């Protein structure tokens, strides 16, 4: 089957998975919850960027154990409809890419646990020789923007051809930038509120079953158009260089 002129990008934590693995890791290994919540609050209020937030959280981690972390990872559950959605994309020939502000180690392990082969972009987690301390690297950051560890905007724009329609699926604060540049947006939780407040056209969803149903209906249309505001935003970025 010939692939349609569409490419799907999805957030991971809280979107593909039911819960945020990084947050659950923090609940287990960070003892000073007040300091932790203060860092998160500063990030949500945009007083600090994602990289500063993550590095601050890592400094609060005490008594890290890789085996305990692996147990947390292996307990993670996917959206109950996600595998059906993944199979729908495969059947339709639609490329599916994960764009995450999370960490590569646990994303790779969760995907492997479910037998899923999906390309993804994420921050990189490193471990000490004794596996009792972690470090973070940000290979997909934007040197001109400190808000993101992984610049979802840049990845979406660099991997979507001019004649392709970009679809973005997300749920939270780390998705607020990229939805301004995507042609079709599926949003829930705080991302839906952001889209509504900022006049970004979106489809609200609860599970990937809702996304599959709506996307299948969109694909039945004779022609899918790029969103004018998103197209203009992308053009502005390219013109700025």
Give the pLDDT mean for 144-171: 93
Query: Residue 4: its pLDDT value, please?
Result: 65
Output the average pLDDT for the chain: 95
CA 75, 81, 86, 91 dihedral sign is positive
Domains of the chain: 6-19+79-240 (3.40.50.1000), 22-74 (no CATH)
Q: At which residue do the structure tokens 């919540």 appear? A: 37
pLDDT band at 46 (very low <50, low <70, confident <90, very high): confident
Query: Residue 146: its pLDDT value, please?
Result: 72
Over 70: is that where the pLDDT of 3 sits?
A: no
Give the pLDDT mean for 29-35: 97
Q: Which residues, 6 or more positions from 66, have their beta carbon under 8 angstroms from its beta carbon?
A: 127, 131, 132
CA 69, 72, 77, 79 dihedral sign is negative
Q: What strands, in cross-sheet order, belong to the sheet with 134-137? A: 134-137, 120-127, 96-103, 6-10, 165-170, 184-187, 203-204
pLDDT tens digits, one per residue of 79-134: 999 999 999 999 999 999 999 999 999 999 999 999 999 999 999 999 998 999 99
CA angle centred on 235, ends 229 and 238, rounded to 5°: 145
How many residues does the structure list for the chain? Answer: 241
Separation of alpha carbons 167 and 177, rounded Å: 14
* Contact assessment for residue 120 and residue 98, using Cβ atoms and an 8 Å cutoff: yes
* Contact assessment for residue 48 and residue 80, using Cβ atoms and an 8 Å cutoff: no
Over 70: is that where the pLDDT of 184 sits?
A: yes
Long-range contacts of 41-48 (CB under 8 A, 24+ apart): 43/173, 44/173, 46/147
Query: Residue 144: its pLDDT value, please?
Result: 79
Query: Residue 1: its pLDDT value, please?
Result: 44
């Amino acid at each position: 089957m010939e692939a349609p002129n569409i490419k799907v990008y999805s957030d991971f934590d809280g979107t593909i998975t039911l819960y945020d693995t990084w947050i659950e890791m923090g609940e287990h290994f960070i003892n000073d919850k007040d300091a932790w919540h203060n860092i998160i609050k500063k990030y949500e209020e945009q007083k600090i960027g994602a990289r500063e937030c993550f590095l601050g959280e890592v400094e609060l981690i005490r008594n890290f154990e890789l085996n305990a972390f692996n147990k947390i990872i292996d307990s993670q559950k996917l959206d109950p409809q996600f595998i059906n959605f993944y199979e729908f994309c495969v059947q339709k020939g639609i490329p599916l890419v994960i764009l995450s502000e999370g960490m590569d180690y646990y994303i790779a392990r969760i995907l492997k646990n479910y037998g899923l082969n999906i390309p993804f972009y994420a921050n990189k987690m490193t471990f000490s020789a004794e596996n009792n301390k972690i470090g973070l690297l940000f290979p997909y950051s934007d040197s001109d923007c400190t808000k993101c560890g992984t610049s979802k905007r840049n990845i979406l724009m660099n991997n979507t051809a001019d004649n392709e329609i970009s679809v973005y699926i997300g749920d939270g604060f780390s998705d607020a930038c990229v939805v301004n540049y995507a042609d079709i947006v599926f949003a829930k939780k705080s991302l839906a509120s952001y889209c509504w407040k900022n006049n970004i056209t979106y489809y609200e969803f609860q599970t990937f079953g809702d996304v599959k149903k709506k996307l299948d209906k969109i694909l039945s249309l004779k022609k899918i158009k790029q969103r004018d505001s998103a197209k203009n935003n992308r053009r502005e970025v390219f013109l700025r260089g």
